[in-house]
Amino acid sequence: MSNVFIIAEAGVNHNGSFEFAKKLVDKAAEAGADCVKFQTFDPNNLVTKNADKADYQKETTGKNESQLEMLKKLTLDKDEFVELKDYCKKRGIIFLSTPFDVDSVVFLEILGCDRWKIPSGEITNYPYLVKIAKTGKPVIMSTGMSNIEEIRQAMDVLKQNGSGEISLLHCNTQYPTPYEDVNLRAMLTLKEEFGVTVGYSDHTPGIEVPIAAVAMGAQVIEKHFTLDRNMEGPDHKASLEPDELKAMVTSIRNIEKALGSSEKRVSESERGNIAIARKSIVARTTIKKGDILTEENITTKRPGTGISPMLWERVIGTTAVRDFEQDELIEV
């Protein structure tokens, strides 16, 4: 990836509405994201009927319901995913959806997705990892809630079963993530340990942390966004609104340009400032031809169009080749 791959995570923020899903595609494309990502799952294959909701889901949905009941309201039909993928193509943005069960992997493979996004919760799901790996397609895997050994085991399963190129995203799965729990330097540990492309999947408020991740070397950024943070649903409150998503993308693109190369050189934009900002050896006082040049009669001042002050020792003690007025550039 020559540029940072920015995934605008729509997730389930469509609230089960195909029209909302299309609007999310529109906003991701308008923001300049590379990819808009949804979530594909059969609630009955994902959770048991008595599975509890996460604390943040209870706080954001505020309903006395099971996780299964919540998820059933957040699904799209398979036909809608087909249309959604086509709509993404029309809008010039990559369609991606995270599968949360093996049947969804099969469906998205038939749909023709060209890469996989593995969520943090599936990093220990052996049959799921095998199914994805055997497609041979590239994988982007989030690593929230996991330690190095668990990541290593998941990587081994993927590699041993024919996975395409694997990228790892540092992640914390708390919505929103407290800043003190981000531990962004762990992203660099993933790169050192596994020698793969790394990035960051963000659940903090605002856009500062993903921008910092890019400055530290992230090549993939994933961030939730929504049409309106006040909408009902589990993830809206920890998501960016469209104008914030656009600001994040713009900032990341600016950081990409600013990072440049590791070579320390004079840039074209600053080259013209050399003569303005640097200094030359000039006459401190009036100097007559034949006078000895000393620290009493010469000094250094802008502009830098004359003899460089780095040649000071060579000039000191020489004879003035002509008369010089005060502030005139010295010649030798």
16-48 confidence digits (pLDDT tens): 999 999 999 999 999 999 999 999 999 999 999
Q: Domain for residue 325, yes or no? A: no
Measure CA of the first residue to CA of the last residue in the chain; give whole Å. Answer: 54
Q: CA 60, CA 203: separation in Å to the nearest integer?
A: 14
Give me the percent of the chain exceeding a pLDDT of 90.
89
Number of domains in the chain: 2
Token pair 């600001």 is at which residue?
Answer: 247
pLDDT of residue 64: 78
Please say whether the beta carbons of 141 and 167 come within 8 A. yes
Give the global pTM.
0.90
Higher pLDDT, 190 or 57: 190
pLDDT of residue 233: 86
Q: How confident is the model at residue 232 (pLDDT cuts 50, 70, 90)?
A: confident
**Are residues 275 and 255 located together in one domain of the fold?**
no
Considering only the C-alpha atoms of the chain, give the largest distance between any 2 of them, rounded to a whole number of Å. Answer: 101
**Are residues 137 and 276 located together in one domain of the fold?**
no
- How many other C-beta atoms are found inside a 10 Å radius of the C-beta of residue 20? 18
What distance lies between CA 169 and its chain's CA centroid?
A: 10
Q: CA 211, CA 304: separation in Å to the nearest integer?
A: 38
Q: For residue 231, what is the domain's CATH number?
A: 3.20.20.70
**Are residues 235 and 287 located together in one domain of the fold?**
no
Give me the percent of the chain exceeding a pLDDT of 70.
99
Q: Domain for residue 330, yes or no? A: no
Higher pLDDT, 319 or 238: 319
**Are residues 255 and 282 located together in one domain of the fold?**
no
What is the extent of the structural domain holding 309? Answer: 268-315
Report, as an integer, the average pLDDT of 2-15: 94
Domain endpoint, select from 232, 259, 286: 259
Q: How confident is the model at residue 66 (pLDDT cuts 50, 70, 90)?
A: confident
Report, as an integer, the average pLDDT of 109-133: 98
Please say whether the beta carbons of 116 and 135 come within 8 A. yes
